[in-house]
Amino acid sequence: MSFLRPEVTEALRRHSELIAAGGVTLLGLWIASFGGYFLTPLGALIALTGLGLGLIAWRRLRFAAPVAAPGVVQVDEGQIGYFGTDFGGFVAERDLVEVRLLRLNGLPHWRLKQADGQALLIPHAAAGAGALFDVFAVLPGLDLASLTDALADPAPSRVIWQHPARLARS
């Protein structure tokens, strides 16, 4: 039994990572406030770590979407799977050569292209699609700010990332 309204509980759950990063930042500032040659730099380091975690949490929060599309996304050991009602499939993270954001019927979809030319289309609002943020974050040369900005861009198609060495071979 919760003493909070369901919508407040849901908002706290969605923002929990950002709230935790704020707590780490405040802890660092509190430690730094004691002063001294040891506690001030230690507190500043903890506060900077909290700010970095907060930035990542903010970008992840902007990336996430409420579940409004059919299908489920599963990421397991570098393998991205989408199980949809009409289509689905798998792509290995190491085989990716392009990540593109498409708007189909006004809804954003991720198009993940492999080196052999096959592509997997994943709705942005599918269950579990938030896990794609962590997959995209480790792609070499991908700018996380452009990743989250692309979701606000109304363009029908936008290339988010390309692997130049692999793309030239395909």
Q: What is the mean pLDDT of residues 138-153?
A: 83
Query: Is pTM beyond 0.85 here?
Result: no
For 72-169, which CATH class?
mainly beta
pLDDT at 2 over 90: no
Task: Concatenate the DSSP letters of all residues of the chain into one string.
Answer: --SS-HHHHHHHHHTHHHHHHHHHHHHHHHHHTT-STTHHHHHHHHHHHHHHHHHHHHHHHHH---S-SSSEEEEETTEEEEE-SS-EEEEEGGGEEEEEEEEETTEEEEEEEETTS-EEEEETTSBTGGGHHHHHHTSTT--HHHHHHHHH---SEEEEEE-HHHHHH-
Which pLDDT band holds residue 170 (cuts at 50, 70, 90)? Answer: very low
Q: What is the mean pLDDT of residues 64-82?
A: 84
